Amino acid sequence: MGVITIKLFRETEMSFVKLSASALAIAAVSATTAAARDNVQVAGSSTVLPYASIVAELFGENTDFPTPVVESGGSSAGLKRFCEGVGENTIDVANASRAIREKEIKACAENGVTDIMEVRIGYDGIVFASQQSGPAFNAFEPSDIFNALGAKVLKDGEVVDNPYNTWAEFNADLPDVEIAGFIPGTKHGTREVFEEKVLLIGCEATGAMEAMIAGGMSEDDAEDACLNVRTDGKSVDIDGDYTETLARIDTNPNGIGVFGLAFYENNTDKLKVATMSGIAPSTETISTGEYPVSRPLFFYVKKAHIGVIPGLKEYAQFFTADEIAGPSSPLANYGLVADPELAKTQEAIANEVTMGSGS
Amino acid sequence: MTDASMQTPETGRRGTSLTATDERTRKRARAEKRFRLYGIIAIATGLFFLVVLFASILREGIPAFTRTVVSVEFTLTPEQREEAEGTLFKTKAYSDLFIAQLNKELAESGISVDFDEAAIERLLGKVGGTIRAFYTENPDRLGEPIEFDLAASSRVDGYFKGRVSRDTLQDSRFLQLSDLDLVDALKEAGIIKQAFNWPFITGADSGVDNPGGAGIGASVVGSFFMMLVVLVLSLPIGVAASIYLEEFAPQNKFTDLIEVNISNLAAVPSIVFGILGLAVFIQFMHLPQSAPLVGGLVLTLMTLPTIIISTRASLKAVPPSIRDAALGVGASKMQAVFHHVLPLAAPGILTGTIIGLAQALGETAPLLLIGMVGFVARGYPDGFLAGFTEPNSAMPAQIYTWAARADVGFYEKAWGGIIILLMFLLTMNIIAIILRRRFERRW
């Protein structure tokens, strides 16, 4: 017994020495390698993430630069990290499904991020879809969505808390089923487009906005009131991604969900899409501007990192090349609506034009 | 009181035989039987859920281990290669060359179904990358025919696995109903077939339009390096801290405070450690983003309380007589601890460590903030040391990413990833059990 324990002690002691030695080694290694980052670091919008991941993979396959790392987290979170400062421990590129805000540019400038290049990569359509085998939700107007999901609507000439339980109550052409809307949560860039291009338009079209102003509200307050959604459980905010919305639609035949065009096109066997103002969403109708609910997608490049982080400018150029982001490119094939003014963007990147200096 | 307890059995047994069981004994026996039944029901329920869980994981995950490949001979001339290398989108050029050649071969072979180059393109996955990678590694094999097994597109793969059927398929630019006739004809001809999915086990993540190229191998390596960091840091620190606290530290307010705080730390949500890691390791210490080293450091912080608590428990479980005996024959306090207490506590320490590591292995939340969740597809690190600092993902992060993607092909991969994760965990546990057997001593 005694012999065994002594032997054990020796072993234990030895391994402690070894372990601590390797721990020190790791610390030393990290101290020396921390200085050099050789890959582009991207973060931001979860809507842009799929496109960015396609480009990142192709960039790694087609060039000698390592594959960029693309993180998700939402447009606002990405821009916040982008504006944290200049240096290798900050990201180089922020993806966004909306344009950068004045406030964010100011926050950037305060941290020394002054030269920002804005790159528009194309357009994304937002579609309303329901279960393939569910009731016939085939045609919507913005006013239908507003009447179904708005917090306060116009009924019999008066602004009231949304009283509707079924779609048919305000539009006899729609199915007589319980209202259940699954819309993107407030941290998503998609929500902003949904509010501006659907709720606000619907609010104006139903006359609710006019009635609110007539009722003594200022125009700004009325606009804000139009964007509120009902909170009685008939409108559900989805804070996750489209897969979560799809799962909700899958279990609720009456559910209407808000999806990106690309996501819908990947799941046409489960979802059927509704027209908006009589136009079916497709890359064609979105690029011509006929389909009303679409938005531009962007990424922002820190100019100070060009020349420091290898491959950063090349990444931006590769992303916006005709072969990658033009019509009939891999991105278009996945659902991105190509930007007709791509050539201008390419030129701006080549000349490293920053925001505020170019136009 | 005494009277009552003396009296009752007397009165209760009066007139009954000792061999015959009375009502109260039978009642107790029934209660015991009922309790045993509850126990069995509890175990059966647990087992039932375990079986359901495993069955669903296996059912959903097994398909990820097979893939549909297009298996054809392809010849690339040096001139063609040079031309393809001259373009910006090289992999597309390779893929176009391949499709043109396949189209010609199929036309000559007299397949009875109508098809065109666009249809072939819809059947294939992203093949350009595979072809380019092959010729970059083997430039000497240009000009000779080479048998390629190239991934079919996600929907063709789904057709083979029953995910896509003729009834539910909607014509789209991804796949059209008429293409399925071509798939059937090619299957007949042995050109499209199913094979074991090696790229899934060895590969790295791929873009969202390329489920056929996605693999979990790189993130297994990422997880491995993270676990290495966690083990190397948390085991010595944790054990040393608990030995001091348990055997040497004086009992006072200060050590009490430390004790309470360790217990509290064990209950802190893991995302908090992620925020801490971002602030301290990346923003203050300037360690690289998305690196397994930082992931490992963050998970170390998370694992330490678990290891300390379990180590202290197993040190406490060693009988004081062993310490007393050692001290009694003249051993110093340190000798008593290292020669006698620690070896006896080793199995318990190992168990605690492995539980801590297993918990860390499955953690995603803290990695979210240090850049390991998202699209990290750099592939294998260039060397052992680079493995700590080069951007990499971890298994649970990879699974999480796949589950959120639009293409259903990735969903299947997420389940396959879970199987690999469980196998990794099982391996870790088996190693721990073997070590524990070796250390186990009875007293």
3-state secondary structure chain B: CHHHHHHHHHHHHCCCCCCCCCHHHHHHHHHHHHHHHHHHHHHHHHHHHHHHHHHHHHHHHHHHHEEEEEEEEECCCHHHHHHHHCCCCHHHHHHHHHHHHHHHHHHHHCCCCCCCHHHHHHHECCCHHHHHHHHHHCHHHCCCCEEEEEEECHHHHHHHHCCCCCCCCCCCCCCCHHHHHHHHHHHHCCCEEEEECHHHHHCCCCCCCCHHHCCCHHHHHHHHHHHHHHHHHHHHHHHHHHHHHHHHCCCCHHHHHHHHHHHHHHCCCHHHHHHHHHHHHHHHCCCCCCCHHHHHHHHHHHHHHHHHHHHHHHHHCCCHHHHHHHHHCCCCHHHHHHHHHHHHHHHHHHHHHHHHHHHHHCCCHHHHCCCCCEECCCCCCCCCCHHHHCCCCCHHHHHHHHHCCCCHHHHHHHHHHHHHHHHHHHHHHHHHHHHHHHHCCCC
> Could you tell me which of B103, B380, B434, B18 has the C-alpha nearest to residue B220?
B380
Under the banding of pLDDT at 50, 70 and 90, the label for residue B330 is very high
Task: Report chain B's mean pLDDT, rounded to a whole number.
Answer: 88
pLDDT digits 0-9 by tens, A43-99: 998 889 999 999 999 999 999 999 999 998 788 889 999 999 898 888 999 999 888
Please determine, for residue A135, whether its predicted confidence score (pLDDT) is greater than 90.
no
How many helices and strands in chain A, by DSSP H and E? 16, 14
Q: What is the pLDDT of residue A266?
A: 83
A54: chain B residues, CB-CB within 8 Å? 207-210
Contact check, Cβ <8 Å, A69/B375: yes
Contact check, Cβ <8 Å, A57/B128: no
Under the banding of pLDDT at 50, 70 and 90, the label for residue A26 is low
A62: chain B residues, CB-CB within 8 Å? 88-91, 132
Same topology, domains A41-123+296-350 and A125-294? Answer is yes
Q: What is the pLDDT of residue A11?
A: 46
Nearest CA in chain B to A70: B375
The sign of the dihedral angle between the CA atoms of B268, B270, B276, B280 is: positive
Q: Where in chain B is the domain with CATH 1.10.3720.10?
A: 217-439
Interface size A-B, in CB pairs within 8 Å, comes to: 173
> Could you tell me which of A134, A135, A155, A156 has the C-alpha nearest to residue A146?
A155
Nearest CA in chain A to B225: A26
**Of the given ranges (A83-87, A185-189, B384-388, B400-404), which has the lowest mean pLDDT?**
A185-189
Contact check, Cβ <8 Å, A241/B89: no
Q: What is the pLDDT of residue B1?
A: 44
Contact check, Cβ <8 Å, A269/B340: no
Considering only CA atoms, give the Rg of chain B: 32
B381: chain A residues, CB-CB within 8 Å? none
Q: Average of pLDDT values for B319-324?
A: 93
Angle between helix B292-316 and B217-243 (nearest 10): 40
pLDDT digits 0-9 by tens, A226-237: 888 988 888 998
Q: What is the pLDDT of residue B217?
A: 93
Contact check, Cβ <8 Å, B288/A22: no
B227: chain A residues, CB-CB within 8 Å? none
Tracing tokens 């790791």 back to the chain, one arrives at A26
Q: Average of pLDDT values for B390-414?
A: 90
* Structure tokens, B197: 């999915």
Q: What is the pLDDT of residue A305?
A: 93
Task: Identify the CATH homologous superfamily for domain A125-294.
Answer: Periplasmic binding protein-like II (3.40.190.10)
Q: What angle do CA A11, A12, A15 make, to 5 degrees?
A: 85
Tracing tokens 């009325």 back to the chain, one arrives at A222
Q: Average of pLDDT values for A331-355?
A: 89
Contact check, Cβ <8 Å, A9/B339: yes
Please determine, for residue B244, whether its predicted confidence score (pLDDT) is greater than 60.
yes
Residue predicted with more confidence, B441 or B334? B334
B89: chain A residues, CB-CB within 8 Å? 58, 62, 321, 323-324
B169: chain A residues, CB-CB within 8 Å? 269
Q: What is the pLDDT of residue A2?
A: 37
| B374 → closest Cβ in A4, A26, A69 | A69
Please determine, for residue A172, whether its predicted confidence score (pLDDT) is greater than 80.
yes
Q: Average of pLDDT values for B331-357?
A: 91
Half-sphere exposure of A188 (CA within 13 A, CB side): 23
pLDDT digits 0-9 by tens, B85-125: 888 898 989 999 998 888 888 888 777 777 777 888 888 88
A263: chain B residues, CB-CB within 8 Å? 406
* DSSP E strand stretches across chain A: 41-44, 69-71, 93-96, 116-131, 139-140, 152-155, 158-161, 181-184, 235-238, 256-260, 271-273, 275-276, 294-302, 337-338
| B232 → closest Cβ in A22, A57, A89 | A22
Question: Distance between CA B265 and CA B267 in Å, rounded?
Answer: 5
| B209 → closest Cβ in A12, A41, A334 | A334
| A62 → closest Cβ in B89, B283, B407 | B89
Please determine, for residue A324, whether its predicted confidence score (pLDDT) is greater than 70.
yes
The helix/strand/coil state of A5 is helix
Question: Distance between CA B103 and CA B97 in Å, rounded?
Answer: 10
Please determine, for residue B5, whether its predicted confidence score (pLDDT) is greater than 80.
no
B283: chain A residues, CB-CB within 8 Å? 84, 89
Task: Identify the CATH homologous superfamily for domain A41-123+296-350.
Answer: Periplasmic binding protein-like II (3.40.190.10)
| B172 → closest Cβ in A16, A73, A268 | A268
Q: What is the pLDDT of residue B441?
A: 67
Q: Which CATH number fits domain B217-439: 1.10.3720.10, 1.10.1060.10, 1.10.10.10, 3.40.50.11740?
A: 1.10.3720.10
Contact check, Cβ <8 Å, B168/A269: yes
Nearest CA in chain B to A84: B283
Q: What is the pLDDT of residue B417?
A: 95
Q: What is the pLDDT of residue B309?
A: 94
| B388 → closest Cβ in A29, A37, A73 | A29
Contact check, Cβ <8 Å, A16/B236: yes
What are the domain boundaries of chain A?
41-123+296-350, 125-294
| B91 → closest Cβ in A20, A55, A62 | A62
Under the banding of pLDDT at 50, 70 and 90, the label for residue A7 is very low
Q: Average of pLDDT values for A100-111?
A: 92
Contact check, Cβ <8 Å, B378/A66: yes
Contact check, Cβ <8 Å, B210/A57: yes
Contact check, Cβ <8 Å, B339/A5: yes
Please determine, for residue B13, whether its predicted confidence score (pLDDT) is greater than 60.
no
Collect all residues with Cβ–Cβ distance below 8 Å to B62 and sequence separation of at least 6: B416, B419
A334: chain B residues, CB-CB within 8 Å? 208-209
A41: chain B residues, CB-CB within 8 Å? 289-290, 371
pLDDT digits 0-9 by tens, B279-313: 899 888 888 888 999 999 999 999 999 999 999 99
Selected for mutation to probe chain A from B131, B166, B209 (highest A CB count within 10 Å) is B209
Q: What is the pLDDT of residue B378?
A: 86
B293: chain A residues, CB-CB within 8 Å? 26, 30
Q: What angle do CA B234, B236, B239 make, to 5 degrees?
A: 95
| B376 → closest Cβ in A33, A58, A69 | A69
